[in-house]
Copies of this chain bind each other. A is one copy, B any other.
Amino acid sequence: MTVLANAAAILRCFSSECAELTVTDVALRLDMPKANASRLMKAMREAGLLETIGAGKRHRPGRLLLDISAAFRHSSPLILMGAEAVARVSAACGHTGYVSVLTGREVTAVTDAPGSNTLRVVSNLGRRLPAHATSTGRALLARQSDAEVRRLYPTGLPAGPANGPRSLDDLLERLRRIRAEGFALAHEEATAGVDAVAVAVGDPATGEAVALCVVFPAAVVGPAERQAILRGLLGGAAEIAARTGDAVPGPARQDERKLA
């Protein structure tokens, strides 16, 4: 299935950073013969996997793929419920919220709820981030055992942002705390000036898990508001957990769930 592999490779060239590509761009990046790239992309256009921008020679992912990413969201009731819960919290506090999933050592946002505040974090759907260096990633990693996490990082932790975990042991220590408290925090990690709160919830039936997360400017959000956001996320997660039969980590009593 070389054509499929090549087609996927072409699709991989697209990302949030690089949204338009020409035939030679692709041929260069994948160092494949121009002829090949040309024919493949033509076929992909005809299949709806790619489309040209205007009438020019620049390409972008096709409409078909858009339809399908919607199917992905609908494929999992967990994601839908998560989106619903995050939307409620986001509407209440005005900050941007996400639902994210973990794949190996990376997290991806699958749904967003753009905030309504003038100063808010711009949403960045579909960008992969290192799990260990984000609140969503750690919230999801905390659902795994220490042994499983160690197995994910056989060569230790890659270098991360200043406030992120500095070593595998540091990470495991943070995960223990997340398991005990039931939520994850990030203070100016992936993005300067941005703090985040995340809560994970899963579906034992499918083995899936998602993280609900709200991000906000670190400087302008005080303890009371943070506590409100946390309460909203925990409440949403608890509702979902009740429906799926998931075990919620952390203190059983809501009032013990406080930010440090």
Chain A residues within CB distance 8 Å of chain B: 1, 3-5, 7-8, 11-12, 14-20, 39-40, 43-44, 46-49, 53-55, 60-61, 63-76, 83, 87-88, 90-92, 94, 101, 103, 108, 110, 113-116, 124-128, 205-208
Contacts and interface: CB of A to CB of B under 8 A. Distances in A.
Given A8-B64, A69-B66, A69-B126, A54 B208 contact: yes
Contacts of A113: 114
- Output the residue of A64, A66, A94 with the most chain B CB within 10 A: A66
A152 B116 CA distance: 39
Q: List the number of copies, as a whole number.
A: 2
A236 to B, nearest CB: 14
B3 A72 contact: no
Contact of A63 (B1, B108, B208): B108
A61 to B, nearest CB: 5
A3 B12 CA distance: 18
A14 B66 CA distance: 11
A108 B53 contact: no
Given A7-B7, A75-B61, A103-B63, A68 B126 contact: yes
Given A20-B75, A66-B110, A116-B87, A206 B15 contact: no
10 contacts: A1-B39, A4-B7, A7-B47, A14-B67, A19-B76, A53-B206, A60-B75, A61-B71, A70-B127, A88-B116
